[in-house]
Amino acid sequence: MKKVYRMAAVAFWDVILINLALMLAIFIHNEGRFDYGSLVDYAYLLIAITGIKMLVFKGFQLYSSLWEYASIEELMKVVAAVFVGNTIGIIYSTLTDFNIYWGVYVVSFVFEVAFVGGNRFSYRILRRIKQNKSLTRQDDHNRVLIIGCGSTASLIATEIKTHPSQYGHLIGYISDDDAKYGQTIAGIKVLGNRYDILSIVKRHKVDEVIVAMPTATKEQTKEILDECKRTGAKVKIVPGIMEVIDGRVSMNAIRNVEIEDLLGRDPVNLNISQIASYIEGKIVMVTGGGGSIGSELSRQIARFRPNKLIILDIYENNAYEIQNELIREYGDKLELEVLIASVRDKKAINRIFAEHRPQVVFHAAAHKHVPLMERSPKEAIKNNVFGTLNLVEAANDYRVERFVLISTDKAVNPTNVMGASKRLCEMIVQSMAGQSETKFVGVRFGNVLGSNGSVIPLFKKQIEEGGPVTVTHQDIIRYFMTIPEASQLVIQAGGMANGGELFILNMGEPVRIYDLAEDLIRLSGLKPHEDIEIKVTGLRPGEKLYEELLMAEEGMSNTKHEKIYIGAPYDINFKILKSNLEKLMDMIPEATDEEIKDRLTVLVPTYKRLDVHTSSQVSSAEDVAKFKENKRYIDAQILKDSQLAREGVRIGKMKRIPVDDFSANVSENMI
């Protein structure tokens, strides 16, 4: 009812203003004189033209707009309606022999636009004046700074100014375009560039910073967010350009800054045709398909229209969740099979392969928690090593086209059982590649943000509980990658497989976990060491300060994808390796955990056990120096390969371990 009264009031004023505009135009045309003898005739004309114009205004929807949000679009609508109304008025007066000079309508047009448009915009102007007065009385009102001066920033600014009680008081913009410095946008000034953010926040007592640059690269966004972190103000960010296209952006779309934003990693560029050629129309299986990596792999694979997607997992709850998600997303367009089974169960695996005949297998099922596996090494071996062996043999027996193992940087020079078990998985895959028609490959990468067991969910939970946030060592360093990025690169690497490769993903720059904890606390609107304590607990069993992505003897060569490299494969005899693994399996029922770990050092020559009592005493300077030395080797290898590639020289020569040396070393120690 309130809406009807408001529309009636606006229409009532339009009737008065239309007549007033035309009467003033006639008055001016007659040089201040009215022909009172023709007043009755004018009255009939005014009634007719008023009726015509009201119908035109209704046709242009001038009574269905929210004029408290009136903008240039509404003004253009008023101009168009008045123009059409006056045009029809001229035609009507001509046909009815009202000899009114056409100039009267020109003057009337100007008055009418001013009166009708002014009537509508006056509400917004009065509302803004009232809001500004209320803001001057609120010294503690939320003060907002917008970084960006584009159309997105303008839309956000409009919402803030329209709803100051909800969003705060906009104090200015930041722009890297020096030409905009000192200029105003919607009455608000551009205060400086990104290097002025800290001083501007302090000077104007800014409470909240909104980064409104959806077209900026990840690297540019990271640089800006690094500046924002120093301010102590709460930081929010506008989504990427695909989410705000066509101007569809609002304050509801603005989200809190996540750690992923601070990594500064650009989106993965996928070779769609290469991926589609080996997934589209194929039967694809994902083991561990309910886990963080496996579920994201399933989401990405579903995009490429496989003939059937098989999700295999031992944990029914996770499998059920991804099943429901994919059904909601694709419905009948995706043939989906969700199977509950353990990769340890050789008979079950063979039965599944015989029934479903997968053509592509992504093996993500694994025990991955380092401290837990250190305490339960037998479980790590049974699940990771022999689960992989079961799948690899089944894939070979049932002629799977491609088999992709998900590995980890902890398999490089492992210092823990989990890493050693994953290195054995790599060896199984590489050794089978030498005697199978199936293209067996492994993909190695570091920690994945937000995955099950990742430090990020742990830190967030600790912050929500008021702290302390626990870090094992102040100088511990890790590589990080987002779940979608890792999954996409795994799928891309699968498309490059020829058999036997160990693909290594470019993880970007390593991150200090202590800095990560501080960033998460700041992004939560709190101060590290004041609001939330950071507690250093000491290195856990088998944990080292740094992770590597390849062993020095592996070597590394480029691929066509800038984020994927290849470590040279090893020539390992599968039969000899399997024979020694069977001896390891025979030991498991009776052997102690220590005996199992000792045996792993035989099977994995690069496995160096770290005693729990000595691991916490490792010199951080020494470990960091080793990390830097390893990284220098990687950078130098990449540079060398790039130069050779430009010169047209074949790169990535394989370094092979002679079979006899491997078998002699293993056999001698296993006897």
Highest-confidence segment of 46-50, 60-64, 432-436, 569-573: 432-436
Average pLDDT estimate for 113-134: 66
- CB of 229 within 8 A of CB of 495? no
**CA angle, corner 413, sides to 410 and 418, nearest 5?**
40
Average pLDDT estimate for 492-512: 80
CA torsion sign, 542 to 609 to 538 to 622?
negative
Burial class (CB in 10 A: 0-12, 13-18, 19+), 635: exposed
Structure token digits, residue 194: 């990104």
Res. 407: pLDDT tops 70:
yes
Of the candidate ranges 214-223, 444-453, 619-628, 642-651, the one whose mean pLDDT is the lowest: 642-651
Res. 134: pLDDT tops 60:
no
User: Helices 513-523 and 455-464 meet at what angle, rounded to 10?
Assistant: 40
Q: Output the furthest CA–CA distance in the chain (Å, rounded).
A: 127
Domains in the chain, CATH or no CATH each: 2-134 (no CATH), 143-257 (3.40.50.720), 272-447+481-507+548-670 (3.40.50.720)
- Which pLDDT band, with edges at 50, 70 and 90, does 379 fall under? very high
Average pLDDT estimate for 62-82: 68
Element (H, E) at 614: helix 612-615
Res. 23: pLDDT tops 60:
yes
185: Cβ–Cβ under 8 A, 6 or more apart, which residues?
A: 149, 153, 154, 157, 173
- Which pLDDT band, with edges at 50, 70 and 90, does 406 fall under? very high
Query: Which pLDDT belongs to residue 251?
Result: 53
- Which pLDDT band, with edges at 50, 70 and 90, does 394 fall under? very high
Give one DSSP letter per residue of 138-203, joined into a string.
-TTS-EEEEE--SHHHHHHHHHHHH-HHHH-EEEEEE-S-GGGTT-EETTEEEEE-GGGHHHHHHH
Catalytic residues: 410
CA torsion sign, 320 to 321 to 327 to 328?
positive
Average pLDDT estimate for 304-330: 94
Whole-angstrom Cα distance, residue 221 to residue 239? 11
Of the candidate ranges 230-239, 279-288, 629-638, the one whose mean pLDDT is the lowest: 629-638
User: If DSSP codes are grouped into helix, strand and coil, which group holds residue 177?
Assistant: coil
Structure token digits, residue 367: 């025990």
pLDDT 10s digits, 602-647: 999 888 886 543 443 344 455 545 545 554 444 444 344 434 333 3
- Which pLDDT band, with edges at 50, 70 and 90, does 184 fall under? confident
pLDDT 10s digits, 509-555: 777 888 888 888 877 777 888 888 999 888 776 666 766 654 444 55
- CB of 188 within 8 A of CB of 215? no
Task: Specify the pTM.
Answer: 0.62
> What do you get for the CA distance between the two ends of the chain, in Å?
92
Average pLDDT of the chain is 77
pLDDT 10s digits, 583-596: 999 999 999 999 99
- CB of 296 within 8 A of CB of 321? no
Query: Which pLDDT belongs to residue 463?
Result: 87
